[in-house]
Amino acid sequence: MEYIEKEDDDKCIFCERAERERDREDLVVLRGRHAFVMMNRYPYTTGHLMVAPYRHVGRLSDLKAEEACEIMDLLGWSERILRDAIGPHGFNVGMNIGRCAGAGFPNHIHVHMVPRWEGDSNFMPVLSETKVLPEILTDTYEKIMLAREADGPEKA
């Protein structure tokens, strides 16, 4: 309900999170040189992460090579950390480019890393547009941060 009822303020959450230094509050789990990883505050499922460049760009074709490479590296890191932290059976990875494609922030591209489990789909999203998450965001954040710590020096 928080997401549905919030006012549309045209602020870019990715630019805001990139500039601030409140990673725990903002659910930022890793910062690279050109891109960063953050949890989705309104996830499809537990552990839903997003990888975004720091730079405000809305098209893949506008990414610099080093940004594109780091985004892919951070996706690989995200997969490894999520496997260690919460043990999903698989992942959906994708982008929505442009508002008509479903992008909530069409002017700042980002890649979704969505953990999946055997039998994780249920009738709730279909019948009542309700998502059932078995864990609160801060608990998942802590698990991800523990897995990050156990992973050793940054390997993204």
Q: Which residues pair with 111 in a beta bridge?
A: 51
* Matching residue, tokens 């940004």: 67
Selection from 136, 11, 109, 96 nearest residue 52 by Cα: 109
Tokens of 93: 């990875």
27 Cβ contact partners less than 8 Å away, ≥ 6 residues apart = 38, 39, 41, 137, 141
Residue 110: active-site member: yes
Vertex 91 angle, CA 36 and 134, to 5° = 90
How far is it, in rounded angstroms, from Cα 113 to Cα 105? 16
Catalytically annotated residue among 34, 48, 108, 110: 110
How far is it, in rounded angstroms, from Cα 34 to Cα 66? 7
Residue 35 phi/psi, 5-degree rounding, is -155, 170
Residues marked as catalytic: 110
